Amino acid sequence: MATTAIETATAKLSVENDFSKYEFANLKPYVHPPETKENLPWSELVTLDLEDYNRSGGKERLAKQLEHAFYVKNFGLDQERVDRQFTLAKHFFELPTSEKEKFEIDYKAADYNGWRRPGRSLIADGRDAIEIYNIPKFTDDFKGKYDQPDLLKAHLPEIEEFQRALHANVVLPLLRLFAIVLQLPDEEYLVKQHTYEKKSEDHFRYMVYHARTEEEWAASKYGATGGHTDLGTVTLLFRQPVAGLQILGEDGNWTWVSAQPGTITVNLADTISHLTGGWLKSSVHRVVAPPKDQREYERTGLLYFARPHNDTQLLPITDSLVLQESGVKPRFEKIVTMEEWVRAKQTLQLNPEIAAKRWAERGDGKVEVLAGFHDQRYKE
């Protein structure tokens, strides 16, 4: 194989910093756990084949298949590159706490980039066993703001390339499909609100759900109370063999997302809903205890959260015929920017003490996130 620019850049970094022990040849590769043999009520999600995107009539065909949750395949990143990111995630979480806490999140500032230690979750009763590492965009706005452990420093060119590929190959094409569904005169309308180079809070995430004892699962009600919507435009989740993710259907039933080979699961999230006055719906989802035959495994995740520019006003798009005809209304009592929305929702997500107090204020299972917009608790 020819040497790529990424390989050259990584090799140079390695020589300059003696990162040789972090080269992939010296990192034990991540091995995906086996799939469950249990017969679970699986979600019937459609798969959008992004290879169709550039064919004649392809975008229109794909746009017709959009739902609040779906898979995409053929997104231009082969399994080897995806697995290298799983390997980095595994080795990152295996670092000692004393190392990881050097990169710990500033919870009070609702700044989610960096390492989130276990036990800070709003979405489960009892303490969660989840660790997260969020990596911002590779743009001037974030340059020098967040340090990385040497393990990841050694691979930043590849992480950047991976993140940019997700944005270009998945997020932007999906935004054009939304524009088609919304009958926007400008197919680039949403794309222009999601420029990679402009300041926005998109981020790439490594995540691990540690295995838990039966008692621990029972204390957190097996994750059943964790229903939520994500705050951005769309969330991309890489194929996850350890079952756990469930999606709430319109019929009020939770179904399990299965591990389709070569796919990413896409969840629509709050911001695309805000921009369409609730016409496009966020996917309500939760992560529950894996089936018995997978409980022993750690559940390692790779995710990408797409968000519009921080200065985007979260109002329904005005030049959509579809939205005009359905008479949608703004979802906030005042003009709210993406930056304000992110801060409001992240404050609740990162600070369990603040969240518990705010959820208790109304006492009806709802919380005011910002300017008259409420999140609700979903039933078990």
Select 240 or 312, whichever has its Cβ closest to ligand AKG: 240
CA distance 333 to 139: 33
- 3-class DSSP state of 14: helix
Compute the least distance from the CB of residue 112 to Fe ion, in Å. Answer: 13
Angle at the Cα of 194 from the Cα atoms of 190 and 199, rounded to 5 degrees: 145
Residue 346 contacts which entry, Fe ion, ligand AKG, none (Cβ below 5-8 A, type-dependent): none
Residue 240 contacts which entry, ligand AKG, Fe ion, none (Cβ below 5-8 A, type-dependent): ligand AKG
Residue 226 contacts which entry, Fe ion, ligand AKG, none (Cβ below 5-8 A, type-dependent): none
By CB under 6 A, tell whether 89 contacts ligand AKG: no
Q: Which helix (H) or strand (E) holds 284?
A: none
Compute the least distance from the CB of residue 268 to ligand AKG, in Å. Answer: 13
Compute the least distance from the CB of residue 130 to ligand AKG, in Å. Answer: 8
By CB under 6 A, tell whether 348 contacts ligand AKG: no
CA distance 338 to 345: 11
Site track for ligand AKG across 244-263, x = CB under 6 A: -x------------------
Select 207 or 367, whichever has its Cβ closest to ligand AKG: 207
By CB under 6 A, tell whether 285 contacts ligand AKG: yes
Interface of this chain with Fe ion, residues 184 to 243, rule: CB under 5 A: 230
Residue 287 contacts which entry, Fe ion, ligand AKG, none (Cβ below 5-8 A, type-dependent): ligand AKG
What number of chain residues touch Fe ion (CB under 5 A)?
1
Show the tokens assigned to 342.
């992110």
Strands 114-116 and 69-73, how do they pair?
A: unpaired
By CB under 6 A, tell whether 237 contacts ligand AKG: yes
Select 245 or 348, whichever has its Cβ closest to ligand AKG: 245
By CB under 6 A, tell whether 240 contacts ligand AKG: yes
Compute the least distance from the CB of residue 44 to Fe ion, in Å. Answer: 20
Give whole-number Cα distances, 68 to 14, 134, 217, in Å: 43, 24, 28
The single residue among 161, 230, 270, 375 that binds ligand AKG, judged by CB under 6 A, is: 230
Select 328 or 344, whichever has its Cβ closest to ligand AKG: 344
By CB under 5 A, tell whether 128 contacts Fe ion: no
Strands 69-73 and 47-49, how do they pair?
A: parallel
String of DSSP letters for 16-85:
HHT-GGGSGGGSPPP-PPPPP-S---B----EEEGGGGGSTTHHHHHHHT--SEEEEE--S--HHHHHHH
Q: Which residue is nearest to Fe ion (CB)?
A: 230
By CB under 6 A, tell whether 301 contacts ligand AKG: yes
Q: Which residue is nearest to ligand AKG (CB)?
A: 245
Residue 245 contacts which entry, Fe ion, ligand AKG, none (Cβ below 5-8 A, type-dependent): ligand AKG
CB distance 262 to 73 below 8 Å = yes
CA distance 327 to 242: 42
Compute the least distance from the CB of residue 239 to Fe ion, in Å. Answer: 16
CA distance 58 to 159: 30
CA distance 121 to 135: 19
Select 287 or 306, whichever has its Cβ closest to ligand AKG: 287
Compute the least distance from the CB of residue 285 to Fe ion, in Å. Answer: 6
DSSP class of 103: G
CB distance 230 to 69 below 8 Å = no
By CB under 6 A, tell whether 212 contacts ligand AKG: no
CA distance 299 to 290: 9
CA distance 255 to 69: 12
By CB under 6 A, tell whether 317 contacts ligand AKG: no
CA distance 144 to 17: 18
Binding site for ligand AKG (CB under 6 A): 207, 230, 237, 240, 245, 285, 287, 301
Binding site for Fe ion (CB under 5 A): 230
